[in-house]
Amino acid sequence: MNNENDDQYLVQECLNGKGKSFEIIVNRYYKTVFRLADKFVHDFDDAEEITQSVFVKAYENLRNYNSKYKFFSWLYRITVNESINYKRKRNKTIVIDANMPSLEPDAGSSYEKNELSSKIKDALMELDMIYRAPLVLKHFMGYSYKELSYLLDVPEKTVKSRLYTGRQLLKDILLRNRVL
Amino acid sequence: MIDKKYLELINKDIDKIISADEKKALLKFLGENPDAGNLYNELTKTGQMLNHLPDREPSPDLQSRILMSIDHNRYSPKNNPLAVFGDFISALKTKWAFSFSFGLAAGIVLLAVILSVTSLVRTSIEKDIYGTIGITSAEVLRSFSSDSPDNFFKIDLLKVRASDDDNHFAFNVDITPPEEYILELNYNPENVIFENLSSVKFEKINLESTSGKIRIFPSATSRFSVMIALKNTGEEIGINLLKGEKSVLDRKVSLK
């Protein structure tokens, strides 16, 4: 299928000097890459920086892309690596603004929803990246064990073990924080 | 302690890859073991909570920032003479292609002659913009430089043709040693937008609605570019290059 819907065609076009093709790829995937990075690092600015860096790395290494795999899987694999490396490089202190205005009473249910989401995200952040990554990829992207094995560059058996342990650890954190 | 086999079945159930027989066996086990039942409920709920976490949307300008940080000329055929040569040779494999190639070669020779004649009358120099993309051409409008033993810097102001509009400019900066300098640009925030600042450390200070200052600390890199998009042409930008506390260049330039 030689058209713009086919990522591999766009990659080839890009390698042939048609820069516009990569713009289509960026347009197609930047939101998903951002959301994935956001789930990994739970920080808006960091997630945007990671997203930017993912596409720069992908573009620079386009010749190394193996067409045996889906292009977006390769992109998500870079996202995983960038998120892991980013967090290693930057142990950021999160400052919570105590003077932040409270929400209006009629926004109660939305507030509760946001608070619950925030608690789940905080719990995820407590997990080591080796457990967080498979959980995020499984629950947000719906990947199979085999696909996770490629994305995380570990055998399927390890994927399963990390997924199960991660889920158990997350459950314990949620119980401890009275979220469950 | 729950049997490893049933723990695996619980996880397979959460991941929705459990078979009908396995599900039946799991439900039977859970019915007979209340502790396992509790664990099953907690893990299932954990999985559901993860499934329903809301997504956030990125900033509206993220896509353009990504595109600005990519070197679009990386795979340009002009940067890959071998590929061009290879294409040429393979094109010669057919008679028709030979005629076409001959015509093309003649065209290239003609174009080269035209370009060389044009370059004689042009006073501006075409330049690359460090680390940016989609630039079709850029010409130097002004240059400021010093190569004295105390200061070594070169700042080129370029008119850039980046897209359809005509209001893009760039400062190409080359400073050694970069960590000793701060580049201050004074501008009108209402009309001036800075585009590819991701490669440098900077701070923005908006003094008033019509007067802003951006301070760039080029500590990590001695060569960088600052892209500027104007809402209207004819803006004036103040350049102040500081070495420590001392100003080594203080100019105003008009962007036309």
Q: Which domains does chain A have, with CATH numbers?
A: 1-90 (1.10.1740.10), 106-180 (1.10.10.10)
Of A42-51, B17-26, B211-220, give the lowest mean pLDDT range: B211-220
pLDDT at residue number B135: 52
- Three-state DSSP at B250 gives strand
Contact between chains at B63 and A117 (C-beta distance less than 8 A): no
Contact between chains at B66 and A51 (C-beta distance less than 8 A): yes
pLDDT at residue number B1: 76
> Across all residues in chain B, what is the average pLDDT?
78
- Three-state DSSP at B218 gives coil
Each residue's pLDDT tens digit, A107-162: 445 566 678 888 999 999 999 999 999 999 999 888 999 999 999 999 999 999 99
Q: Which residue has the higher pLDDT, B141 or A11?
A: A11
Task: Tell me whether residue B155 is in a domain.
Answer: yes
**B145, B231: one domain:** yes
Q: Which chain B residue is nearest to residue A11, measuring alpha carbons?
A: B75
B91-114 burial, b at 16+ Cβ within 10 Å, e below that, comes to eeeeeeeeeebeeeeeeeeeeeee
pLDDT at residue number A48: 94
Contact between chains at B134 and A175 (C-beta distance less than 8 A): no
The C-alpha atoms of residue A45 and residue A95 are separated, in whole angstroms, by 14
Q: Which amino acid is at A86?
A: Y
With 70 as the cut, is the pLDDT of residue A103 above it?
Answer: no
- Taking the CB of residue B70, how many other CB atoms lie within 10 A of it? 22
**B151, B234: one domain:** yes
CATH number of domain containing B245: 2.60.40
Banded model confidence at residue B223, pLDDT cuts 50, 70, 90: confident
The C-alpha atoms of residue B227 and residue B169 are separated, in whole angstroms, by 6
pLDDT at residue number A99: 39
User: For chain B, what is the domain count?
Assistant: 3
What is the interface size between A and B, counted as CB pairs within 8 Å?
106
pLDDT at residue number A76: 92
Task: Tell me whether residue B37 is in a domain.
Answer: yes
Torsions phi, psi for B61 (to 5 deg)? -95, 10
Each residue's pLDDT tens digit, B194-213: 776 666 777 777 666 677 88
pLDDT at residue number A105: 37
Q: Which residue has the higher pLDDT, A3 or B75?
A: B75
Task: Tell me whether residue B71 is in a domain.
Answer: no
A164–chain B Cβ distance below 8 A for any pair: yes
Residues 74-133 of chain A whose Cβ lies under 8 A from any Cβ of chain B: 113, 116-117, 120-121, 124
Most distant CA atoms of chain A, gap in Å: 58
pLDDT at residue number A101: 36
Q: For residue B50, give the nearest of A59, A60, A135 by CB distance.
A: A135
Banded model confidence at residue A169, pLDDT cuts 50, 70, 90: very high
pLDDT at residue number B125: 36
pLDDT at residue number B96: 60
pLDDT at residue number A102: 36
Task: Tell me whether residue B69 is in a domain.
Answer: no
Domain that holds residue B38: 4-51
**B86, B181: one domain:** no
Banded model confidence at residue A98, pLDDT cuts 50, 70, 90: very low
Q: For residue B53, give the nearest of A22, A49, A117 by CB distance.
A: A117
Q: Which chain B residue is nearest to residue A161, measuring alpha carbons?
A: B8
Please give the share of chain B, as a percent, with pLDDT higher than 90. Answer: 20
A62–chain B Cβ distance below 8 A for any pair: yes
ipTM: 0.82
A146–chain B Cβ distance below 8 A for any pair: no
Tell me how far the alpha carbon of residue B242 is from its chain's centroid. 27
A59–chain B Cβ distance below 8 A for any pair: yes
Of B8-22, B44-58, B88-102, B115-129, give the lowest mean pLDDT range: B115-129
Q: Which residue has the higher pLDDT, B152 or B119?
A: B152
Q: Which residue has the higher pLDDT, B162 or B110?
A: B110
Each residue's pLDDT tens digit, B171-195: 888 888 888 888 888 888 877 877 7
**B157, B250: one domain:** yes
B138 to chain A, closest Cα gap in Å: 18
* Sheet of strand B201-208, all strands in order from the earlier edge strand to the far edge: B201-208, B211-217, B181-187, B235-243, B246-255
Task: Tell me whether residue B57 is in a domain.
Answer: no
Q: For residue A59, give the nearest of B59, B63, B74 by CB distance.
A: B74
| Ranges of H-type helices in chain A | 7-15, 20-41, 44-60, 71-89, 108-126, 129-141, 145-152, 156-176
**B244, B143: one domain:** yes
> Across all residues in chain A, what is the average pLDDT?
84
Q: Which chain B residue is nearest to residue A17, measuring alpha carbons?
A: B76
Task: Tell me whether residue B61 is in a domain.
Answer: no
Task: Tell me whether residue B126 is in a domain.
Answer: no
Q: Which residue has the higher pLDDT, B166 or B159?
A: B159
Query: Which of B50, B64, B163, B201 best tests the A interface by mutation, with the highest count of A CBs <10 A?
Result: B50
Per DSSP, A57 falls in state: H
**B144, B251: one domain:** yes
Q: Which among B14, B36, B51 is the end of a domain?
A: B51
Task: Tell me whether residue B234 is in a domain.
Answer: yes
Question: What residues pair up with B182 in beta bridges, in sequence order?
Answer: B242
Mean of pLDDT values over A56-62: 93
With 90 as the cut, is the pLDDT of residue A180 above it?
Answer: no
